[in-house]
């Protein structure tokens, strides 16, 4: 969905992750502020400001760091909607303002494009998400990153939604032989029409990588 012409949305999200790679643990926390404006009924402009806190990494031999990372500017266009089916396209760009020498940014501009299909069959809603990120960076990481995921949402009463989301992304490590698959479970509680509170749990893994994340967020619309 989109906000509608002249409407605003503020999203505050936090992701606390415990990462274990090659037998070594690292912790990180990503806090993101996303501000959306409805330029038209079917087009949103979205500004994203992320803040990252990294623990020490023995694998990469890097100390801990924290600060703002690369901000993003996206446009979401809901270009088709008929009855229960809708499609949206979301292209975006990030700006290399984060300090890549401290692992707080890519050091280069990146761009992305995502396609979302949604089908509403109350009380269920189904989503399919496909995308590509041109991950320019100064770390010798893989540049072409692909994403595919599917999610289902179950409405429970008037104020609660249960979420199940799973997918896979191309591994940014160019030497890796496996791509990380993820699973997210959680819920969205809406005490008011324009207020959402969400909590989730995410696991992600490959042969050598295991991550566990606690997710939380608050969404306000006006």
Which residues in 39-172 belong to E strands, given as ranges? 43-54, 65-68, 72-82, 85-94, 110-121, 124-134, 144-156, 160-169
pLDDT tens digit sequence for 150-203: 999 999 999 999 999 999 999 998 888 899 999 999 999 999 999 999 999 999
Q: What is the pTM of this model?
A: 0.91
Helices assigned H by DSSP within 62-166: none
Specify the pLDDT at position 35: 98
Query: Could you give phi then psi for residue 191, rounded to 5 degrees?
Result: -65, -25
121 pLDDT higher than 80: yes
Q: How far apart are CA 20 and CA 29, in angstroms?
A: 14
Specify the pLDDT at position 208: 78
- What sign does the CA torsion over 121, 122, 124, 126 have? positive
């Amino acid at each position: 969905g989109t906000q509608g012409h002249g409407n605003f949305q503020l999203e505050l999200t936090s992701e606390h992750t415990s990462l274990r790679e090659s037998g070594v643990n690292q912790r990180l926390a990503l806090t993101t502020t996303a501000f959306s404006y409805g330029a038209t009924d079917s087009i949103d402009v979205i500004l994203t400001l992320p803040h990252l806190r990294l623990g020490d990494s023995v694998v990469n031999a890097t100390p801990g760091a924290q600060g703002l990372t690369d901000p993003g500017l996206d446009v979401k266009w809901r270009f088709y909607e008929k009855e229960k089916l809708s499609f949206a396209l979301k292209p975006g760009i990030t700006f290399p303002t984060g300090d890549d020498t401290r692992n707080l940014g890519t050091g280069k501009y990146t761009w992305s494009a995502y396609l979302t299909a949604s089908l509403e069959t109350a009380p269920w809603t189904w989503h399919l998400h496909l995308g590509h990120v041109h991950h320019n960076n100064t770390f010798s990481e893989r540049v072409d990153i692909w994403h595919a995921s599917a999610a289902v949402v179950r409405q429970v009463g008037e104020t609660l939604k249960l979420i199940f989301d799973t997918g896979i992304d191309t591994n940014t490590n160019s030497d890796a032989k496996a791509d990380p698959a993820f699973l997210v479970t959680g819920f969205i509680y809406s005490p008011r029409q324009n207020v959402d509170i969400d909590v989730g749990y995410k696991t992600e893994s490959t042969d050598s990588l295991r991550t566990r994340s606690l997710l939380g967020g608050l969404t306000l619309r006006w």
